[in-house]
Structure 1
């Protein structure tokens, strides 16, 4: 297919854009766009930190990193690639090689002069404080939902370089509305304070309300405010990927705010599907890029809006064997709706708010009161390699994955079957 734009077009004062919601960009057009975009920037003699996603996002990183390396060679005095893990598991050498496009153990041969680091979110020595956002300002940004200050802590690799370039896709997101842009700083390479704080703010709004919301949501406003404290010059190469592939619909380069906004508008057209009526059941088949339920839960977030009251979401992932190795507390907390925690806040306020947020996101909408207890709007069923006792103790329903009859479910008019769940959002027609 032809690109919707044959040349880079201006999208406001802060970014240029190629592509659109129809068709895909050729690899050469992407390379040319990266080269043209970086050629226009003052990068000679500068140190550059490139922040990229981990393996949980669809993105042609080998192509993009090769183009970036070519555009920076002979100009930047130092190039560091920082993997934006958030609080995901670190990537080992074999995973990094596949992800970034070099032979295992041969980084220097493919990308001479480039250094690659995982974001070590578990290591306090890797962080630096940029200051704080006051309680009063948090109240303004959060729409009055939270009133306490938050320290802005970031991986020091970002501030140790003159320029920070975010490279990553934009998708509908359960915490912020649409991912990408400054989100690769916060929570991508941030300290636990901002991560927990921003995720809990999203949980207070609720995943089903914020996911796929265009424009500046309260969480996006908080993230942008934190990013404004970064002393390095910030740039972004934002992308709209064809879900589940290495193809790109569009790419935008400029400030993180402007490049993100351009791609979020396109993502809203390419990554959101609309149904005319709710469905009774969804079978979400979780891709192997998601290795635990902490990440695989995206297969629930993206479909919750179209499930009828009393319906069911089956997360089918025989390859997933644990809830979260990185967040063992989730096994103890279990999965509960937002009101379960708010109604017993003294009991839960000292837990990591990020864990509480993930819990509410996977359990979905519901109610709680001290008399009738908790009632979820839908049933969440795990058909995974996680033991039944663990699943039920975490307050979720269990189904032996061997008992999942995909053909029968595909033939059922009341069931939606998604072969590659986790990136495309489903909404009811007429909703935002």
Structure 2
């Protein structure tokens, strides 16, 4: 019996898989990558060697104010490590600069005070100016122009009115933007509701180029690059992390060039060869990405890429924060079937995109082809099942049900961390 550690909430589950059923374990090499220096030194080295850019110190000289975009509570950016270094280096050359830290919530809810403490630490929360971006508050937005896709570009006024804009984030495979990080801190990070909806339209989500690990010809990525350029994003610090959310690599400098270098590093570690199986077991990488069903769709896409038609996907995800989006929940729960969701969503014009549409579009696509079990003891069973997803309290229970569906000799592939791999 094989025993495989699967991330779940802030811990791990030891999943036992019969040897005769297990055909592959697909893992990112990032989880076994050992850097030559510690986390702080990796960040310092990246900032000492900016890619195609002046140094951060040169950029802040003579500036009266600046905005640092950082990620929200749903992203495991190790800001307790990165932000103190960035702030120290800025104030060393410009001690009087007015700094606003803008939390890129995108289309998510605001980050709570406690979540800020967890993410940034007391020193930053108590002494720095932190602001939650609220995408639906039009008073906080400024009209900037038209996206390549034709949608309106609205960005947070703080971003458009500051003298210097930089961002921090992390790079991992992303299920429709190709990769997270870089330009994504602007769109959707600090963009207005209308802009996020236009960028995440059903036409783009359905594009074969809007997939994990793909940037070339990705229409969503193209809009994001344009938005970052219009915002005059001047500098980024992006890190790559392992399964323990520890930094193993960092890039800094030009928002596009540095991001591309980071994506190359991730690609080298994250690409795994698919092993089609009757049952695929995965996770959403544990906390903070497995807080809700909305985010859990990301991990499902990795399993989808290696699951045989009509197969079963088992995903371990705490979902302790519930569904993660009212529109997302209602569109799934009120439909008679996933097929109905797909049929309706593909008829929605680009300029009429609904909130959370991209998420229920992808979930419906997966559910049309596969049976999906969410394993959690922290989320309402009835809510999960009302969304056409099956529920199990334990992994053993889910595996037994999956074997009943596909047969005792069913083949099983395990992807311990579904959001960390690019399945090809």
Shorter-chain TM range is 0.7 to 0.9
1:412–1:160 CA distance, 2 compared to 1 (3 A)? farther
Distance apart, 1:319 and its partner CA: 4.7
Alpha-carbon contact 2:198-2:353 (below 8 Å) kept: no
Q: Which residue of 2 aligns with 1:373?
A: none
Which residue, out of 46, 64, 73, partners 1:55? 73
Instruction: Give, in angstroms, the shift of residue 363 of structure 1.
Output: 2.8
CA deviation map 1:78-106 (0-9, x unaligned) = 111111111222222221122113359x6
Bigger mean CA deviation after superposition, 327-336 or 45-54: 327-336
Give 1:226 shift. 2.5
Match of 2:282 in 1: 284
The structure showing larger relative contact order (alpha-carbon pairs under 8 Å, at least 6 residues apart) is: 2
C-alpha spacing 1:255/1:291, structure 2 compared with 1 (3 Å): same
**Aligned residues of 1:61 and 1:100 also touching (Cα < 8 A):** yes
Q: 1:118 and 1:346 mapped to 2: Cα distance?
A: 32
What residue in structure 2 maps to residue 30 of structure 1? 43
Q: Secondary structure at the match of 1:399?
A: strand
Paired residues, number: 373
Q: CA deviation at 1:345?
A: 5.8
1:254 aligns to what? 253
- Aligned counterpart, 1:217: 218
Distance in 1, matches of 2:346 and 2:208, equals 20
TM-score scaled by length of structure 1: 0.76
Once the two structures are TM-superposed, the CA of residue 183 in structure 1 deviates from its matched residue by 1.1
Provide the rounded CA distance (Å) in 2 between the counterparts of 1:99 and 1:382: 26
Report how far residue 126 of structure 1 moved: 1.5
- The alignment partner of 1:59 has SS state of coil
The CA deviation string for residues 333-370 of structure 1, in whole angstroms up to 9 with x for no partner, is 1078997556446975586434221112223358xxxx
Cα 1:40/1:33, change in 2 over 3 Å:
farther
Q: Secondary structure at the match of 1:50?
A: strand
Q: 1:132 to 1:168 in 2, by over 3 A?
A: same
After superposition, the Cα gap between the structure-2 partners of 1:245 and 1:316, relative to the gap in structure 1 and judged at 3 Å, is same
Q: Counterpart of 1:48 in 2: which secondary structure?
A: strand
How do residues 318-333 of structure 1 correspond to structure 2 at under 5 angstroms? 318-320=318-320, 322-324=322-324, 327-333=325-331
> CA offset at residue 309 of structure 1?
0.8
Task: Identify unmatched segments of 5+ residues in structure 2.
Answer: 1-29, 50-54
CA distance in 2 between partners of 1:346 and 1:360 (Å): 8
Q: Per-residue CA shift, 1:21-67, capped at 9, x if unaligned?
A: 95324222422543663234353334221111123333321111011
Tell me the alpha carbon deviations over residues 293-351 of structure 1, each in whole angstroms, 9 at most, x when there is no partner: 11222221232111111111122234535212xx3122221078997556446975586
Aligned residue runs from structure 1 range 95-110, under 5 A: 95-103=115-123, 107-108=126-127
Contact 1:237 1:253 (8 Å CA) reproduced = yes
Mapped pair 1:379 → 2:378: no
Contact 2:314-2:398 within 8 A present in 1 as well: no
Which residues of structure 1 form unaligned runs of 5+?
1-18, 109-113, 139-148, 367-375
Correspondence 1:136-151 to 2 at 5 A: 137-138=148-149, 149-151=150-152
How far did 1:186 drift? 0.3
| TM-aligned CA distance change 1:392 to 1:404, over 3 Å | same
1:158 Cα deviation after fit: 0.8
Task: State the alpha-carbon separation in 2 of the partners of residues 82 and 348 from structure 1.
Answer: 32
Q: Residues 175 and 233 of structure 1: is their aligned pair in 2 closer, same or farther, counting only changes over 3 Å? A: closer
Cα distance in 2 for partners of 1:383, 1:358 equals 19
The answer on whether the counterparts of 1:382 and 1:397 sit within 8 Å (CA) in structure 2 is yes
Aligned to 1:307: 307
Higher mean C-alpha displacement, 300-309 vs 285-294: 285-294
Shift of 1:422: 4.3
After TM superposition, give the deviation of residue 241 of structure 1 in Å.
2.0
Q: Does 1:45 align with 2:63?
A: yes
Counterpart position of 2:384: 391
**Correspondence for 2:99:** 79
1:262 Cα deviation (Å)?
Answer: 0.7
Aligned to 2:270: 271
In the alignment, the residues of structure 2 paired with residue 220 and residue 195 of structure 1 have an alpha-carbon distance, to the nearest angstrom, of 12
Distance 1:339 1:193, change over 3 A: farther
RMSD: 3.2
DSSP-derived class of the 1:205 partner = coil
| Preserved contact between residue 58 and residue 243 of structure 1 (Cα < 8 Å) | no
Using the alignment, how far apart are the partners of 1:399 and 1:199 within structure 2?
28
Structure 2 CA distance for partners of 1:353 and 1:93, relative to 1, 3 Å: same
Distance 1:346 1:22 in 2: 41
Counterpart Cα distance in 2 of 1:168 and 1:345: 31
Contact 1:58 1:246 in 2 (8 A): no
Quick check: 2:106–2:190 contact (8 Å CA) kept in 1?
Answer: yes
